[in-house]
Chains A and B, each alone.
Chain A
C-alpha cells in the first residue's frame, strides 16, 4: 500500500491525530480507510482525480487512496477560489473530485456530478464522480502538484509514484526520522514541502498531528503541547515568526526537530536556530528543493552547522549534484540534479497528461550555485526569473507582463517582497495595482513595493538591466 507499510508491520501504532477533535487513527485503521476509498476509485481505465486538501484526516485518506487506486491525482488547496478551481477542471477534465463541497463539486464537475457515500472509519471522506470522458493519461502518472500554491496557475508538475516514494525514503534517511517523531502540520498538505513531511513520516510509522491553525495562533501552540509534537517544518517567513515568538517563551519541551526549506534563510538566522536547537539537545536542518524534484534535493545535516553555514547541504541519498557551465573562478554555474525524484515534466493542458518521462531523472534547476570539495551546495542566485515570497513561488516575468499594460515596468524579488519599478503611475494607481496583484496571487498586499523611476535602466540591446535594479537602495 502506497507509503503505508506500517499498516501491516505496526498496525497499532498511531498514524494520525486530528487536533480539532482529539481523535486518533492507528495505522491499521488508516490502511483500512484508504483501502475502502481506493476500492471506489479503482476503474478499468486510468482516471484523473482532483483532491482538495486541508490538513485533516479526510484529505490524507483521499490522497493516499487516489494514488493507491492508480488515479492521476492533482493536489489542490481546498480554499482555492472556486472560479480558479473551475478553470482547472475545464482544462483537465477530472473524473473524480475528492474533498469538495457540493458547490465546488458542481462548479468543477457540472450539475450532474454524483456524490458517492463512503463509510471510511468515521473519517468524513467526500467523493464526487464527474462526467466521464477524461483525456488519455499516461500509465505512470501518479501525482500532480501545482508550482504556485494557491494562485491556481494551470501549470502542474507530473510525478511518478516512484518519485514520491523515493523522495520520502531519502528524506526519512537524511533527517533520520524515527517512529517516535510527531510532526505537526505547520504547512499545507497540497504544498510539496508540507506533503513531504506527511509522506516521509508515514513511511517511517510516525504519528502526524493534523491542524489547520497558523503559527501565529494560540491554538497552534496548544495543539503542539497537548499532543507532544516533536517536529516542525517552516519556510523563511515561519522562522521570522518563530524569532518573534521566541521558542523558549512558548514552552515546548517535546520539540526536538526543526527543518527549513522554501527559500533562502539568512545565515545569521540559520545560526540562531542551529544554536538554539543544539542547546536544547535537538536538531535543525536546512534543506533545498523544488516541486520539480518532488520536494527535496539537498539536506544540510544538523551537526554540520555552523561549519557549513551558508550552504544548503549535500545531495539527498540517491541524488547527485553537478554545476554546469561555470561562469566565474569560484565555479558558479547552473545547478543540475540527478535522482529518482525528478519529475516526468510539466502539464499545461489535458493532452500533456498523456506524456511520459521527458527528463530521464535529470533536472536543470534554474538556480545558480557552487559546490565545495565536500559536495555541499551554495545557492548564489536564480538564473530564472523566479522569486520566493512567503514560501510561494512567483514568476517575475509573468507579473511584469501584467503590469506592462499600463506602462513600462520591471519587477525584482526582495526578501519576502516584490519590488516593482514603474515609469508610470502615482500612489493611487499603485494602490490599485497592489490590490489586484494581492488578490490574484493571494499574497499580502504589503509584499508589493512600488517605486517610480523616470526611466528603467536598460542594456545595449534594450533589455531591462535587472542587476542594476537589484543594486538600487
Chain B
C-alpha cells in the first residue's frame, strides 16, 4: 500500500514484511534501485558485491532481523534467494 516500492527510508516499519525488509537491506548495502531483479542478484553478478560489501550485508541482516549468523551462513550468503533461505533457518518467515 503506502510502502509500495519505496525503500529509500532508513527505518523499517512494522508493516513491512520480511521480503520487503530483505530487499531494503540489499538496496541500502549495494546502493541498487528498488526495481532490481533480486531473484537473479548474486555475488559476482554486480561489481559492488565485494568482501567489504559482503560484511556490511551480514551486519545489516543481523540488525534488521535480530539474528547472529553462523560461519557457514556468512560465507554461504551468495545471492538474494540464498539470503532468504538462510533467514528461514533463523525462523524468519516469508509470506510467499
Query: Given contacts A79-B47, A435-B31, A445-B31, are A214 and B74 in contact (CB under 8 A)?
Result: no
A248, closest chain B residue (CB)? B71
For A241, what are the chain B residues with a Cβ–Cβ distance below 8 Å? 51, 55
Apart from A241-B51, A244-B74, what are 10 other A-B pairs with CB-CB below 8 Å? A79-B47, A214-B54, A216-B43, A217-B43, A218-B78, A221-B75, A237-B51, A240-B55, A444-B53, A444-B56
Q: Give residues in A with beta carbon < 8 Å to B.
A: 79, 214-218, 220-221, 237-238, 240-241, 244-246, 249-250, 390, 435, 438, 443-447
Q: How far is the CB of B58 from chain A (nearest CB, A)?
A: 8
Q: Which residues of B contact A250 (CB under 8 A)?
A: 71
Question: Which chain B residue has the least Cβ–Cβ distance from A245?
Answer: B71
Taking the nearest CB of chain B, how far is it from the CB of A128, in angstroms? 23
Please list the residues of chain B having a beta carbon within 8 angstroms of any beta carbon in chain A. 31, 43, 47-48, 50-56, 58, 70-72, 74-76, 78
Q: Is B71's CB under 8 angstroms from A246's CB?
A: yes
Q: Which residue of A is nearest B31, CB measured?
A: A445
Q: Kindly state the separation between the CA atoms of A214 and B54 in the bound complex, as whole angstroms.
A: 10
CB distance from A262 to the nearest CB of B (A): 13
With both beta carbons as reference points, the residue of chain A lying nearest to B71 in the complex is identified as A249
Q: Which residues of A contact B31 (CB under 8 A)?
A: 435, 438, 445
A-B Cβ contacts below 8 A, count? 52
A317 to chain B minimum Cβ distance, whole angstroms, is 33
- 23 A-B pairs with CB atoms under 8 Å apart are A79-B47, A216-B51, A216-B54, A216-B74, A216-B75, A217-B43, A217-B75, A218-B72, A218-B75, A241-B55, A244-B58, A244-B71, A244-B74, A245-B71, A245-B75, A249-B71, A435-B31, A438-B31, A443-B52, A444-B48, A444-B50, A444-B52, A444-B53
- Which 4 residue pairs are nearest across A and B when measured between Cβ atoms? A216-B54, A214-B51, A444-B52, A249-B71
Cα distance A215–B43 in the bound complex, in angstroms:
12
Interface of chain A, helix or strand or loop or mixed? helix
- Docked CA distance A79–B78 (Å): 20
- Within the complex, the shortest CB–CB distance from A191 to chain B, in Å, comes to 14
**Chain B residues near A238 (CB, 8 Å)?**
51
A39 to B50, CA, bound (A): 37
> How far is it, in angstroms, between the C-alpha of A300 and the C-alpha of B81 when the chains are bound?
44
B3 to chain A, nearest CB (A): 21
Nearest residue, chain B, Cβ from A446: B56
Chain A residues near B58 (CB, 8 Å)? 244
A263 CA / B50 CA spacing, docked (Å)? 19
Closest B residue, CB atoms, query A249: B71
Chain B residues near A246 (CB-CB < 8 A): 71
Chain B min CB distance to A347 (Å): 28
Distance between A215 CB and nearest chain B CB, rounded to angstroms: 6
In the bound assembly, the distance between CA atoms of A218 and B47 in angstroms comes to 18
What is the bound-complex CA distance between A320 and B53, given in angstroms? 39
Which of A216, A238, A443, A445 has the most chain B CB atoms inside 10 A of its CB?
A216
Contact in complex: B50, A214 (CB < 8 Å): yes
What residue in chain A is nearest B56 (Cβ atoms)? A446
Q: Which residues of B contact A220 (CB under 8 A)?
A: 75
- Tell me whether B78 and A245 are in contact (CB under 8 A): no
Query: Nearest Cβ in chain A — how far from B59, in angstroms?
Result: 9
A244–B55 touching, CB < 8 Å: yes
Q: A237 near B52 (CB under 8 angstroms)?
A: yes
Contacts of B56 in A (CB 8 A): 444, 446
Contact in complex: A390, B71 (CB < 8 Å) = no
